[in-house]
Amino acid sequence: MWFSAAHFAPTLSERQRQNTWRTPQPWCEAQATTISYQGKRLLNFASNDYLGLAHHPDIKQAAIKALRVAGVGSTSAALVCGQSHYHAALEERLATFMGKPKALLFSSGYTANLAVLSTLLNAKHALFQDRLNHASLLEGGLHSGAYFRRYRHGDMAHLEQLLKRQEKPTLVATDGVFSMDGDIAPLPALLQLCQQYNALLYVDDAHGFGVLGAQGRGIAEHFGVPFASLPLTMVTLGKALGVSGAAVVGDEHLIDYLQQFAKPYIFTTAMSPVMAAAALRALELIQEEPWRREKATTLARYFHQEAVRMGYTMAPSNTPIQPLIVGTNGAALHLSHWLFERGVLATAIRPPTVPLGTARLRFTITAAHSRAEVDTLLSLLAQAAATQGVAKAR
24 half-sphere exposure, CB direction, 13 A CA radius: 3
Active-site residue flag, 168: no
3-state secondary structure of 126: strand
Catalytic residue among 125, 222, 239, 369: 239
Burial class (CB in 10 A: 0-12, 13-18, 19+), 30: middle
User: Residue 373: helix, strand or coil by DSSP?
Assistant: helix
Catalytic residue chosen out of the listed positions 179, 272, 317, 336: 179
CB 348, CB 23: distance < 8 Å = no
179 catalytically annotated:
yes
Name 75's Cβ contacts closer than 8 Å, sequence gap at least 6. 81, 82, 269
Is 102 part of the annotated catalytic residue set?
A: no
DSSP output for 216-275 = S--HHHHHT--GGG-SEEEEESSSTTSS--EEEEE-HHHHHHHHHH-HHHHTSBPPPHHH
Annotated catalytic residue, options 207, 295, 304, 369: 207
| Phi, then psi, of 56 in degrees rounded to 5 | -65, 130
The residues near 166 (Cβ < 8 Å, ≥ 6 apart) are: 126, 128, 147, 197
Residue whose C-alpha is closest to residue 238's, from 210, 202, 266, 218? 210
**Would you tell me how many other CB atoms lie within 10 Å of the CB of residue 19?**
17
Smallest CA-to-CA distance from 70 within 282, 275, 281 is with: 275
Active site residues: 179, 207, 239
